[in-house]
Amino acid sequence: MPQKRKSRGRSKGGKGRADLVQCSNCGAAVPKDKAKKLTTRVNFIEPALAKELRMTGTYIAAPRTLKFYCVSCAVHYGLVKVRAKSERHLH
């Protein structure tokens, strides 16, 4: 069978089995090393108020949200680009 990717689409190396995570969009069970991870920071304070508070030296906590996406949802949201056919296969 031909190989499309050197990593076979995973980042586990020779670890064996990876734990499953749920896709944040469709709910599919995806291996954690194959899922595409998106980390964003959520600010609960308005930007104008946050700027004033920063001027006074206030620390503003911005909690991080961590989302995992399956490959098809990651392509749909533009997190991963579809590569040209000539770039897909190993030579």
User: Locate tokens 């069978």: which residue?
Assistant: 1
Q: pLDDT category, 90, cuts 50, 70, 90?
A: low
Q: What tens digit of pLDDT does each residue of 1-44 get? A: 777 778 888 888 888 999 999 999 999 999 999 999 999 999 88
CA 2 to chain centre: 27
CATH (residue range 20-77): 3.30.1740.20
Q: Give the pLDDT of residue 91.
A: 57
In 1-91, alpha helices (H): 47-55, 71-77, 85-88
Residue 66 above 60 pLDDT?
yes
Q: Which amino acid type is present at position 32?
A: K
Q: Where are the domains of the chain?
A: 20-77
* Three-point CA angle 49, 52, 54, nearest 5°: 110
- Higher pLDDT among residues 85 and 22, named by residue: 22
Q: What is the pTM of this model?
A: 0.76
